[in-house]
Amino acid sequence: MTDPLDGALADVVAPRPAVRRDDVAYSGRIIDVVRDDVDLGDAGTVLREYVDHPGAVAVVALDDDGRVALVNQYRHPVRSVLWEIPAGLLDVDGEDARLAAARELAEEADLRAGRWDVLADFLTSPGISNEALRVFLARDLSPVPEAERHERTDEEAGMELRWAPLDEVVAGVLDGSLHNPSTAVGALAAFAARAGGWTALRPADAPWAYRRGTLPR
């Protein structure tokens, strides 16, 4: 039998059977905690607890001057106000990821985009969560008309929009000034993609193996 890890450097969906599952160890407004007894073959059966998460999208909105749109938001678990690229949950069943990203860009940054590409897909913390996040690159930007702008509430009520050169955002990631994972992955991916003449970009509807609902349970 061929080893699925042979060949190209790529992650492989290779589920081990869950011989017992507790889907309701904890049920919350956004996340659930799941307990699985996982059969690892010769290594035996192990208990694994993890967060069942709907997934999310994030947007590197890049203007014609090479600047990135950032918003600041209070994140209570880390007791900090973070500069972030616009992002949001995939909490509408079956919603197209690009449309969700366009909604978040409009709601958080009052922006629309004429061109969409996929920059990167990543798993935020695969040891304890199944959260998958897709980062889009949005270009050909224009403002949302005043009359159509979203009314922000809760932590979003005080959001500020700041434009920063992509190189400055990358420098902030590397020197430890910026910590949001979507911002870090998005900025570094955009920096690398730009250096390669944008040839590494994928179409906005590129397959996404780790989006919730696609993995075997």
196 to 119, 121, 192: CA distances (angstroms): 12, 18, 6
- Distance, in Å, from the CA atom of 187 to the CA atom of 180, rounded to the nearest integer, reads 11
What are the tokens at 177? 């000034």
Helix orientation angle between 181-195 and 166-174, rounded to the nearest 10 degrees? 130
Active-site residue numbers?
Answer: 156
Instruction: Say if CB 60 and CB 67 are below 8 A apart.
Output: no
State residue 77 phi and psi, 5-degree precision.
Answer: -55, -30
- Distance, in Å, from the CA atom of 166 to the CA atom of 67, rounded to the nearest integer, reads 5
